[in-house]
Structures are given as C-alpha cells and as structure tokens.
Amino acid sequence: MIDPSIRLRRAVRSNDALLVKRILKSHPHLIHNPDHGIKGLANSSLHLAASLGHLAICRLLVELGHEEDGPSLNDEHQTPLMLAAAAGHTEVVHFLCEYDPPAILRQDVRGRDAIMEASLNGHDTCVQLLLTYAPDGAQAALENCDLDGNTALHFASSNGNLLVLRTLLAAGADAGRRNIWSWTAEAYSATVQAEAYLKGLVADVERRRQNASIRTKLEQVDDAPPKKGIGIGIGIGIGRGGLRLVRDEVGD
C-alpha cells in the first residue's frame, strides 16, 4: 500500500484534481503535505501545483482551506505565488493575485518577491498582473528590493528581458536606483542591445515627464486670474533651439 502523502503528491503532479479531492476527503490532515525529502524545500501541495501551473488543483486546495492561516511558505519563505510567477504560469498567478493581493509584496529569505521572480525570468504578462493587483499600487510595489538592494528592474536588465523593462518603466520603476554595490539597472544590462534599449526607454520617460511638467505650468498660467492693469501673454515659438516659451508683460 502506497503512503497517502506520496499518492497525494503524485496526484498533484499528474494534475488529477478528482483524485486529489478523494485523497483529501479521506486524509484531510494531509492538505499541506510538505515535501521533507532530501532535495525538498518543504514545498506544500499548493507550492507544487502552482509551480506546475495546475490551476484546477490550486483552486481546489484553496477552497479546501489550504491558505486559511495565510500564504504557505517553504524553507526559503517562498510563497506559491512566487513559484508560479517564476515559472510564468499566467492563469495561476492571476488566480492567486485575486485571492490574496498582499502576498504579492511578500519577500523570501533573499528579499525577493513575486514581481522580481517574474522580471528575472522574463514573464511580462505575469509582471503586468502582479503590478495590477499590488495593494498599494504598482509604483509602491516596485520600491521593494532584495538583500543586495536589487529591484525588479535590476533583475529584468540583467537577463535582457526587454518587454519587462518597458512594463516596469511605464509603471514607475526608478531607473536611477542603485543597489548596495552602487550599480544601477543599466549597469547590469545583459547585452549591448539591452543597454541601448534601456537608455532609450529612460530618455523617453524623461521626455514625457518634462512635457507633462510644461503642460501643467501652462494650465496653471491659464487658470490664474490676471493682475490689475497687467496683461499677460504666453506664446510658444519653435526655432532652431527647440521649444521656447515667450512671456510678455504689457502695461496699461
């Protein structure tokens, strides 16, 4: 007779949700069933299902109370969401984000979170989902860094994940952020092409920021009431030097 814990792990690996349900009905105490083998990291049933992208089993385990006491953690304090994000299992990431958004910001023993794992491995759709469901917004989530001070942008740059770089910068990632070794994400570029691409993205973001600042100032001038006896004219001239603001003050 095969031990029920082994049968349960085999059923999860085989993506057999019906068998998992039958085993847990007879042995409800095995719902977490951490792997304590020599090569195991005490991954629970949900860790295993999430790492394999088995959505039906993930849903079943959550419905049966797998995460009632909070997100499951293995020996490295990784959550099932981190493993799903690292493997690029979009549907599982979406489900776990909806179920427990705060788990997005959890960090393991190295200080990495799910966004960093997805960025490191180039899973752009997973990154977008994680940023969308981040409890305090995307920009706040991107402030997280690991024990070496590396952000998600550092991880994306180091592996040359161009789509992820664009997503992170659009979400407000700080390209000038340095790790504890005083290296920026640009310095970690995996290839010359990735470095050039990142520089172009950063320049584009800066241009957009400057244009937004100019528009804000013009709107403030338009909304401000004119001083008594003074006429204020604003003109925009484009010459060889680029954009030029012309401000004229006219007396009575």
3-state secondary structure of 239: strand
The predicted-structure confidence for 165-220, as pLDDT tens digits, reads as follows 999 999 999 999 999 999 999 888 878 888 888 888 888 877 776 676 667 766 66
Looking at residue 74, what is its pLDDT? 96
Looking at residue 213, what is its pLDDT? 64
Q: What is the mean pLDDT of residues 107-124?
A: 98
Looking at residue 195, what is its pLDDT? 84
Looking at residue 242, what is its pLDDT? 47
3-state secondary structure of 47: helix
Q: Is the pLDDT of residue 106 over 90?
A: yes
What stretch of H or E contains 130?
Answer: helix 124-133
For residue 109, what pLDDT band results from cuts at 50, 70 and 90? very high
Does the model's pTM come out above 0.85? no
Q: Measure the CA–CA gap between 175 and 199, rounded to whole angstroms.
A: 9
The predicted-structure confidence for 53-67, as pLDDT tens digits, reads as follows 999 999 999 999 999
Q: Measure the CA–CA gap between 196 and 173, rounded to whole angstroms.
A: 17
Average pLDDT, the chain: 87
Looking at residue 197, what is its pLDDT? 85
Number of helices (H), then strands (E), belonging to the chain: the values are: 12, 2
> Helices 4-13 and 17-26, interaxial angle, to 10°?
160
User: Of 19-33, 139-153, 215-229, which gets the smallest average pLDDT?
Assistant: 215-229
Looking at residue 226, what is its pLDDT? 59
The predicted-structure confidence for 218-248, as pLDDT tens digits, reads as follows 666 666 665 554 444 444 444 444 444 444 4
Looking at residue 1, what is its pLDDT? 77
Q: Residue 237: beta bridge partners?
A: 244
Closest CA relative to residue 32, chosen from 77, 1, 62, 2: 62
Please give the domain boundaries of the chain with CATH numbers for all domains.
Answer: 76-250 (1.25.40.20)
User: Of 19-23, 160-164, 228-232, which gets the smallest average pLDDT?
Assistant: 228-232
For residue 39, what pLDDT band results from cuts at 50, 70 and 90? confident
Pick 36 or 32 by higher pLDDT. 32
3-state secondary structure of 19: helix
Work out the percent of the chain whose per-residue pLDDT is above 90. Answer: 69
